């Protein structure tokens, strides 16, 4: 690995920032390129064939342009469908984001776990296989949310996301007798990277407290392990933020905390 590795973080929109902030925290020495494929947002509304046809060639262009040492697919919807074709097509290491079903089920005391993701993520065989392999006897409820990613996107871009709209998306996660903590959902897997961006609102609007499982810290550890020990040089080049729609945005200042204090150009 070079002294200053370049990490490309990829999502359909701003959701991958929830992964980026953990990765930057673990590896402040790296140079970051964040790509939001907003021209094709939301990924959760596309078929698997359409997503593969979109993301595989786009990634080829991004790799050629930015020469990353490692790519983080900071999107569950893309990871469960496109990670295998990406690894087959390109030699750069890819770290994916897949629903954290194993730790969620291992940690659930009531054995009632919900997986909150896009409609596509919860429908795919990849996710169902994780439940078969790692469900550990839990009753797992799959909740495909049509709008929560767009609500998170709106909230982060300075727009509004109404409480009742968010509450309607998360309510199906809460299963069992709400009055009895022993027989109700106690764990919700955040299986879309947009959702941790709304975590405070999710906690407020939940009918009872649960553990919300965000895979970002585990992804950051994996990235750091793959890169090996940091070098002594610091990255002076700032960070780059790319929207595939080429839209003009004035988010650079607002997004600075996700980039570890750098102002993305």
Stretch that binds ligand DGL, among 26-34, 38-46, 138-146, 257-265 (CB under 6 A): 38-46
Q: Which of 21, 22, 31, 44 binds ligand DGL (CB under 6 A)?
A: 44
Q: Which of 6, 7, 8, 15 binds ligand DGL (CB under 6 A)?
A: 15
Note whether 77 binds ligand DGL by CB under 6 A: yes
Give backbone dihedrals phi and psi of 118, rounded to 5 degrees, phi first: -70, 165
Report, in Å, the least distance between residue 77 CB and ligand DGL.
Answer: 4
Q: How far apart are alpha carbons 140 and 112 in whole angstroms?
A: 6
- Position 96 contacts ligand DGL (CB under 6 A): no
Alpha carbon distance 242, 37 (integer Å): 8
- Three-class DSSP labels, 208-248: CCCEEECCHHHHHHHHHHHHCCCCCCCCCCCEEEEECCCCC
- With contacts defined by CB under 6 A, name the span among 24-32, 53-61, 192-200, 255-263 that binds ligand DGL: 192-200
Cα–Cα distance for residue pair 235/27, rounded to 1 Å: 11
Q: Is 138 noted as a catalytic residue in this protein?
A: no
Distance CA 181, CA 209 (A): 9
Residue 40 carries which DSSP code?
Answer: G
Residue environment code for 108-137, b if the CB has 16+ CB neighbours within 10 A, otherwise e:
bebbbbbbbbbbbbbbbebbbebbeebbbe
Candidates 10, 32, 43, 174: give the one binding ligand DGL (CB under 6 A): 43
User: Using the rule CB under 6 A, is 193 a contact of ligand DGL?
Assistant: yes
Asked if 192 is part of the footprint of ligand DGL (rule: CB under 6 A), the reply reads yes
State yes or no: residue 6 binds ligand DGL (CB under 6 A).
no
Euclidean distance between CA atoms 102 and 201, whole angstroms: 25
Question: For ligand DGL, which stretch binds (CB under 6 A), given 137-145, 180-188, 189-197, 203-211?
Answer: 189-197
* C-alpha distance from residue 256 to each of 24, 145, 236, 251 (Å): 11, 28, 15, 9
- Catalytic: which of 105, 138, 173, 192? 192
Instruction: Tell me how long the chain is.
Output: 265
Stretch that binds ligand DGL, among 61-69, 71-79, 87-95, 134-142 (CB under 6 A): 71-79
Q: Does 173 bind ligand DGL (CB under 6 A)?
A: no
Q: Which of residues 112-131 bind ligand DGL (CB under 6 A)?
A: 118, 121
Among 10, 11, 55, 115, binds ligand DGL (CB under 6 A): 11
Active site (annotated) includes residue 75 = yes
Residue 80: Cβ within 10 Å count: 30
Binding residues for ligand DGL (CB under 6 A): 11-13, 15, 41-44, 75-77, 118, 121, 149, 192-194
| Residues designated as active site | 75, 192
């Amino acid at each position: 690995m070079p002294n200053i590795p370049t990490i490309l973080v990829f999502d359909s929109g701003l959701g991958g920032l929830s992964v980026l902030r953990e990765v930057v925290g673990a590896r402040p020495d790296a140079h970051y390129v964040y790509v939001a494929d907003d021209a094709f947002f939301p990924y959760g509304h596309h078929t698997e064939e359409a997503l593969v046809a979109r993301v595989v060639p786009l990634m080829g262009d991004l790799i050629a342009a930015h020469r990353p040492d490692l790519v983080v697919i900071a999107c569950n919807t893309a990871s469960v469908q496109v990670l295998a074709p990406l690894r087959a097509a390109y030699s750069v290491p890819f770290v994916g984001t897949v629903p954290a079903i194993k730790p969620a089920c291992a940690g659930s005391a009531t054995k009632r776990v919900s997986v909150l993701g896009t409609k596509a993520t919860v429908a795919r065989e990849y996710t169902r296989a994780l439940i078969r392999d790692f469900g550990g006897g839990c009753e797992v409820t799959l909740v495909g949310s049509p709008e929560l990613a767009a609500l998170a996107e709106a909230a982060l871009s300075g727009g509004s996301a109404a409480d009742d709209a968010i509450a309607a998306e998360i309510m199906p996660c809460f299963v069992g007798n709400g009055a009895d903590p022993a027989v109700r959902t106690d764990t919700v897997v955040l299986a879309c990277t947009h959702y941790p961006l709304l975590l405070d609102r999710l906690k407020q609007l939940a009918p009872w407290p649960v553990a919300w499982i965000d895979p970002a810290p585990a992804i950051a550890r994996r990235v750091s392990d793959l890169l090996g020990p940091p070098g002594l040089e610091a990255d002076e080049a700032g960070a780059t933020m790319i929207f595939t729609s080429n839209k003009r945005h004035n988010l650079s200042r607002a997004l600075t905390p996700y980039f570890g204090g750098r102002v993305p150009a």
